[in-house]
Amino acid sequence: MRGGTPYFQKLVELIQSAAQLIQLHVYIFDDDETGVEIGTELMHAAQRGVQVQLMVDAFASSNLSDSFIEQLQQAGVLFKEFAPLLKSSRFYFGRRMHHKVVVADGVRALVGGINISNRYNDMPGEQAWLDWALYVEGEVCSELKKVCNEVWTGNSLFKSKRKASKQNNTSTSDSYLVRVRRNDWVSRKNQISRTYLQMFRYAQKNITIMSAYFLPGRVFRKNIERALKRGVQFHIITAGNSDVMISKNAERFLYRWLLKRGARIFEYQPTVLHGKLSVCDNLFVTAGSYNINNISAYASIELNLDVYHQYFAQDTLEQLEKIMNTDCIEITYDSYQTKYHRPARIWQWCCYVLFRFIFFLFTFYFKQKE
């Protein structure tokens, strides 16, 4: 499901149809027009007797006003913040709760990369950032409910203002093969990273990746190179317009490395690209909150769904190919060399080194904590 109006319509439908429990975990929740709409629906659900659990990342959702939080709580919404160890208005140090998931009654769910903010919604005269979510029903939702419960009742990093009760629901099965994948270095979970490594190691034909912040680490690059040497077609859709330009410059530093080895790179143009979605061999899809960089690998709590289903994978690939053909500019080796002269490439290298240093700080700290 593409972000913007379709996603938020489905989100409202899930909230309105819930009879017992709504679990909404999101990285960014702003009290702008979109946030007020979703907050109002959550309050209505709580007032009709549904248990509503809302968890946000304390740093990323720092613009959420105290008055709005109080309004939610007065209506009966259970609210928690996932707090980093240290933070200010411009800085944080510690894990981020980066996943975006909503589960209704343990039987229906949305999992993706879409935050609750106007930037991710179609607003008058402004197109939403490009992002994705998977809508699922059945057994997988029971597992997602357990994941949400585990995070909700987690350790002292979770700042609670109310207690949430436990609740058990049944779910139905369907014909798709779906698995929940998580990354949380502190809890020794690296399932999403393993999914990508398996893709790189065992792909036979093609891999298409859409990634908002594509900065693969050394192990990923080694496996990407091996896949390219085997003849796997490798298409990467990245942001042309990024909300984090230092990250974008660091990412462009890797373009020459990728292009020399045969990868094809496409930069998305219409708006900011925020999606995290990959297809392998027309058989397999992974989608969620995980960016291909070391922050997602080592410093954030991430959630993806893997889907093994040929028709679904082919349909997803067709959508990505349409985006590449109509909304992207392909970056070739020659066009890169022409556009980015030596001073620009030096700046890209500086940004890349800076990000590697930041990643090292995160990784070193959490390894020490173990």
Higher pLDDT pick, 208 / 163: 208
Q: How confident is the model at residue 345 (pLDDT cuts 50, 70, 90)?
A: confident
pLDDT for the residue numbered 361: 56
Integer Cα distance of 320 and 327 in angstroms = 10
Integer Cα distance of 268 and 274 in angstroms = 10
Q: How confident is the model at residue 358 (pLDDT cuts 50, 70, 90)?
A: low
Question: Residues 290-306: what's their mean pLDDT?
Answer: 87
Extract the tokens encoding 83: 């707090």
Closest CA to 174 of 146, 147, 135: 135
pLDDT at 162 over 70: no
Please report, for residues 56, 117, 152, 257, the alpha-carbon distance to residue 25 in angstroms, rounded to integers and kept in the order given.
6, 14, 9, 37
Question: Residues 24-37: what's their mean pLDDT?
Answer: 97
Q: How confident is the model at residue 342 (pLDDT cuts 50, 70, 90)?
A: confident
Integer Cα distance of 56 and 41 in angstroms = 17
Q: Under CATH, what is the fold of the domain 5-160? A: Endonuclease; Chain A (3.30.870)
pLDDT at 158 over 90: no
Higher pLDDT pick, 343 / 327: 327
Question: Residues 33-59: what's their mean pLDDT?
Answer: 96
pLDDT for the residue numbered 135: 97
pLDDT for the residue numbered 290: 94
Integer Cα distance of 141 and 139 in angstroms = 5
Instruction: Report the 10 Å Cβ neighbour count for 36.
Output: 14
Q: Comparing 23-27, 258-262, 335-339, which segment has the lowest mean pLDDT?
A: 335-339
pLDDT for the residue numbered 277: 95
**CATH class of the domain whose range is 177-355:** alpha beta
Extract the tokens encoding 369: 């904590």
Fold match between domain 5-160 and domain 177-355: yes
pLDDT for the residue numbered 260: 94
H helices within 126-263, ranges in order? 139-152, 191-202, 218-229, 245-253, 255-260
Say what the pTM is: 0.86
pLDDT above 70 coverage of the chain, percent: 87
Higher pLDDT pick, 253 / 370: 253
pLDDT for the residue numbered 249: 84
Q: Are 80 and 159 in contact (CB under 8 A)?
A: yes
Higher pLDDT pick, 245 / 257: 257
pLDDT for the residue numbered 170: 35
137-151 tens-digit pLDDT: 999 999 999 999 999
111-124 tens-digit pLDDT: 999 999 999 999 99
Question: Residues 204-209: what's their mean pLDDT?
Answer: 97
Residue in the structure block whose two tokens are 């398996």: 198
pLDDT at 210 over 70: yes
pLDDT for the residue numbered 159: 40
Q: Enter the DSSP assignment of 363.
A: H
pLDDT for the residue numbered 348: 83
Integer Cα distance of 214 and 263 in angstroms = 13
Domain ranges of the chain: 5-160, 177-355
Q: How confident is the model at residue 84 (pLDDT cuts 50, 70, 90)?
A: low
pLDDT for the residue numbered 65: 95
Extract the tokens encoding 185: 């270095």
Extract the tokens encoding 347: 């700046």
Closest CA to 288 of 135, 145, 153, 83: 135
Q: Are 151 and 55 in contact (CB under 8 A)?
A: yes
